Each structure stands twice: as C-alpha cells, then as structure tokens.
Copies of this chain bind each other. A is one copy, B any other.
C-alpha cells in the first residue's frame, strides 16, 4: 500500500475528505433566501438548488448508477448541467460533461470509451446521440422551449428530496472525467479528483475574488474542464449562478445589465464580440473577467477596461482543471505604466495560482533543466501538484507518457521572464486552439486524407482576428485529380464540427525532409512570419 499525504483515518475527528458537495450543503444552510441559480425566468434559492440536487441524485441511483459509474451530460450552460456537478458525485457517479460542439461520431466514441450508464442530454442536442453504439439510460432535460414537459423534470418532481448521503469515498477518488481531443485525434479522458476539485475551487475564489455578493454569468462552457471548477467555486462562495444557453453578445450584455453580473470567464473571442457590439455600454457594476485560451489583444483589454471590466489572464489545460497559472497583477510596480505597457504585461500567462507551489510550474529543456529566466530561451511548461489531473481514464500508457519525469508535460512552449512570469510562445503538441476549443491537427488531416482526390496534406494553425487561431490545410492532390477549396471544406464539414473545419486551403507541394517527413514547422513559420509568438 502506498504511503499517503494524509495518514489519519477519514473518520478522525479532525479529518474530513475534501468534497465539493460540502460547499453546496453549506451555502444551502447559510444562504437560505438568496438566488443560487438564475436560468431564464426561473430563479432558485440555495435550498431549492440543493433539494433539486438531492432529487437528481435519487433519480441517478434509481436509473442504476452505482459507485464509480460514469454519468455523461450533454447540455449547454443550463441549470441541470450545473446541478449535475453535485448530483452525479453525490450519487457516487463520475461526471463526464461532453463538448456539445463535437460531431455525433465523436460523441459516440466518448460514450463508448467512458462506458456511461446514464446520459443526461438537452433536447436541443438529441441529434448528437444519433450515432451512439452503446445503450445507456437516456434522460432528456428541456430544450429551453418549455422545461416542465420533459421526462426529466417530471422525474424530478416525483423524486424524493430527502437529503442524499453518499458513501465514504477517498478524496483522491475520481469526481469527473473531461475528454480532451489530444494530439492524435483520439479523445483522452482526463480524471479529476474530489481533492483537486475542492482545492481548485478555493483557488479560483481567491483569484477571481468571488464573494457571497458576486453574480457569475455562465459564458464559459461547463464542459470545458468542468467550467474551470467554477460550478463548485461560485457555489462555495454563496454567489449567484446566471445560466446562459447561448453565448451571443446581445444576450450576454442583456443579462449583465438585468442580473447585475460581477464575474464571467470567457475566451478572448467572446470579449472581442462583446467589446465591439453596438449595444455595449459601460457596466453598472465593476466586472471581473477571467480569460484564457489565448492571450487577449491589448486593444481588447483596453476596450473591456473602458466598459468597466478588469481582465485577468489565466492559463491551463484540461489536465490542470483549467487555469493553473494567473497573470497576477502587481499594483506596486505596474499601476503607473502606460496602457500599452500594462497590456503587454497582462498578455503573459503568469505564475502559479495560490493552491500550487510556485516552483511546481516550470519551463524546462529536454533534460528537464529549467531554462534561464531571460524571456528568450524557450522550453516546455511542465507542472505537478494538487491542481494537476490524476491521469487519463483507462489509458496507463498515455498517463505514463504525460507524467514522464514526475511532471505533467503541457506541450506548450514558453519563455520564463526575469520576473518569474511565463509567456507561451509556441506549442510542441500538434494542436490548434480556436476560440477556446482545442483541435487536433492529426484528426483534421486524417479527415482530409479520406477524400479520394487527396495525396497528402498538412494542417497548421494560422492567426485569426476573431478566433485567435484557425486551421489551414496544405494539400497535394493525386496526379490528374481535381478538387477546389470550397469542395474540400464542404467535405470536411460533413465529417467534423464547424470549429475543426479548415478555414483556408492551399494546394501544392509540401516541404519535406530528406527522409520524406513533412516539415510542418516551415509552413507555420511562413504563416506566422513577423510575429514573436507562434500561438494566438
């Protein structure tokens, strides 16, 4: 038996496993009158939210969920998705929140890989289940056009709201699995633990300065790293969740005004949309915006600040519960700089969050030595600690590879600045991050290769004003074959989600090494010429 961080039995008077469910039960105990959830016209107090979570947990157990079973959720940011973050673990299940931007084929693969016993899905997304090869129990929640009529809400009404207690579970048990596209195009299941979720939630509370008076708008998908653990963090703070079915600027601006929103998280793409919307007006209350996925452009930061927002950049991956570093602002030395200088500093990915040891986030060379903190030498970002995943579900090989040398290898290439802040410059993993969504170039290449006219191809990221990066395909056709860009894009679109479909196509010879290996870096160099970063 391995030694452990905690040698006290969990029944000890002074030891309780770290469990995010406690956050909800506490807020329901303390904040009996306040809005926990706003979902359209529906408002739930914390006790009502907890009662629904108890009912939800009873439903899951009745549907056959047993300790350790996976429960998949396929939903936009509606209340049931939020409730699942508590009900699934409470029922002893493991939450798998699925990316609703994937194709039916991709969803089918994940459902098979995680072996979900139950799938809770939004009516609007039914088509995504059309290719499933497994036979889970399906629970249909509303589609935003009349919730009360759905099977799920009917079940909720009938279910018991008796407090539901789950069996004792180690705090290192898996609370959720988040699928990431990875580099190969085969999704990998990133396992989060109870302890990790709890610690990350407390870290997010600190860095976003969440308080019981906060009002959090759900612009960030809950299927991305469990919404960076904000379902648990906002609940722990006793703040208000404002659900959001569709992230459209007009919609977001209206809710900010109506609900007095104080916090939201979003990819820079969303900020660009908000800042440039004709309806954008200075916010009534100061807003704390947390952004990640790409460094926001200085102009976007300035625009958002003029509206009354403070923009904080964070950085992380699915494997780190979302954010693990924060571009911590140092008032004492940075407040007096020019707006441009400040925007430069804010575009960096920063330093370890409060629940991480500072030196557990490193930029290293191939021999795992720290690169010099000169803001020039590039290395890979590696990290370990309570904010790092437990491993990949049912994939010991990928886990071992990712954890080589005792650190998680991010695949992100960064420099270390003299002040200890990291800045991402490039990506070792062959992925593209577009509007906050990860794209495996290998998957896109495989899809293009399925076209009978294609001889070979390479897909790389190119910079894009709106999405940060988008995929571009370089294609060599078979001798005598014809294909134009529009046809190829349409072909891809029939097999890939919209965000993975190439936004540009170029036909011709591909650069290769003497041994015949395609030199993708040369294609990227060309597309990113004149920039000091190779990511956006």
Contacts and interface: CB of A to CB of B under 8 A. Distances in A.
A236 B408 CA distance: 24
Given A5-B170, A34-B330, A211-B209, A29 B195 contact: no
Contacts of A195: 5-6, 15
Interface string A306-349: 00000000000000000000001111110000000000000000
A146 interface: no
Nearest to A406: B13
A239 to B, nearest CB: 12
Nearest to A172: B8
B384 A29 contact: no
A390 B328 CA distance: 35
A29 B420 CA distance: 7
Contacts of A406: 11, 13
A330 B29 CA distance: 12
B5 A390 contact: no
A172 B420 CA distance: 31
A403 interface: yes
A460 interface: no
User: Copy number of this protein in the oligomer?
Assistant: 2
A237 interface: yes
Interface in A442-470: none
A61 interface: no
Nearest to A196: B14
Contacts of A30: 328, 330, 351-352, 358, 420
Interface in A176-230: 193, 195-196, 202, 205-206, 209, 211-213
7 contacts: A4-B7, A4-B9, A6-B172, A6-B195, A13-B408, A30-B330, A206-B206
Chain A interface size range: 35 or more
A124 interface: no
A171 B6 contact: yes
Contacts of A351: 26, 29-30
Contacts of A9: 2-4
Interface in A1-36: 1-11, 13-18, 22-23, 25-26, 28-34
Given A4-B10, A16-B360, A26-B357, 12 more contacts: A4-B170, A5-B10, A5-B170, A7-B170, A8-B172, A14-B193, A14-B388, A14-B389, A16-B385, A22-B357, A22-B358, A212-B331
A211 B354 CA distance: 11
A122 interface: no
B384 A32 contact: no
A359 interface: yes
A397 interface: no
A412 interface: no
